[in-house]
Amino acid sequence: MIETAKDIGTEAAARAEDLRRVYGRGGAAVHALNGVSVNLAPGTFTAVMGPSGSGKTTLLHCLAGMDRPTGGSVWWGGTEISRLPERRLAELRRSRVGFVFQAFNLMPAMTVAQNVELPGRLAGERPDRRLVLDALARVGLAGRERHRPGQLSGGQQQRVAIARALVARPRVLFADEPTGALDRATGHEILALLRAGVDREGQTCVMVTHDPVAAGYADRVLLLADGVLVDALDRPSAAQVAERLSRLGG
Ligand SMILES: Nc1ncnc2c1ncn2[C@@H]1O[C@H](COP(=O)(O)OP(=O)(O)OP(=O)(O)O)[C@@H](O)[C@H]1O
């Protein structure tokens, strides 16, 4: 396993051991992950990079309990989640992990506050207004709770999605190209927000990105190629990431 000194002696917020994911069967089988082991230390920001099709999103989905590995195991703290029954996994996912997508995935007819409350409501909980307003304040959207997503900029919409992901105070925040639909300046605001959550609140954050500058916000950059973890760079500069990535053909 590629690890850093930071991992040693710390129980990982999430970890994968010899993770394998095969899509399809026989001659058409695609080995998206081919034995990946990673430790996500609590309170760290990890970027996952690699050429197109290298398995980044598959790794994120398996670590977040949104996809089932074909082999190996995924752990959240001391709990192995890869073999839990679907119902139990869904419950645990609600409280333990948050997910942010490239395409904000907000409900346009609902207000900002209703969007943030939605995962809880779907799980049958009564919304806690104080927690919703607190989550919106944390992402810099205090006072916007009655707006509809269409009245907000792209960056503000992504902030709503981050508030929605953080409202249940998850141990790990997963983000799949969270700045992919944003201009560079707005993207940096979102990355700075993710970074601040790690630095100020001890949030653990994992992000897939194609952008070496975005990866420069991370503590550690994992590099995948053909479903295998080929390198881990600690606190690299954007230039170092770009150089390493270009050697991988990404
Ligand atoms: N549901 C699926 N069914 C079949 N094949 C899939 C499925 N999901 C992913 N794959 C394949 O698995 C491999 C890894 O895909 P994945 O999306 O994880 O890569 P990625 O590194 O995130 O790519 P990109 O940078 O293009 O988003 C690819 O060859 C992809 O075509």
pLDDT in tens, the chain (250 residues): 554 434 444 689 999 999 999 999 988 999 999 999 999 999 999 999 999 999 999 999 999 999 999 999 999 999 999 889 999 999 999 889 999 999 999 999 999 999 999 998 988 888 899 999 999 999 999 999 999 999 999 999 999 999 999 998 999 999 999 999 999 999 999 999 999 999 999 999 999 999 999 999 999 999 999 999 999 999 999 999 999 999 887 6
Q: Per the CATH hierarchy, to which homologous superfamily does domain 9-248 belong?
A: P-loop containing nucleotide triphosphate hydrolases (3.40.50.300)
Domains of the chain, by residue range, sit at 9-248
Closest residue (by CA) to atom 20 of ligand 1?
53
Closest residue (by CA) to atom 29 of ligand 1?
53
Residues in contact with ligand 1 by the CB-under-6-Å rule are: 23-24, 30, 32, 50, 52-58
Ligand 1 geometric centre to CA of 97 (Å): 22
Alpha-carbon span 158 to 111, nearest angstrom: 14
Ligand 1 geometric centre to CA of 58 (Å): 6
* ipTM value for the complex: 0.97
Ligand 1 geometric centre to CA of 139 (Å): 31
Contact predicate 71/82, CB 8 Å: no
State the burial class of residue 129 (Cβ atoms within 10 Å of its Cβ: 0-12, 13-18, 19+): exposed
Coil, strand or helix at 80: strand
Q: What are the phi and psi torsion angles at 50 (to 5°)?
A: 155, 165
Paired tokens of 108: 């346009």
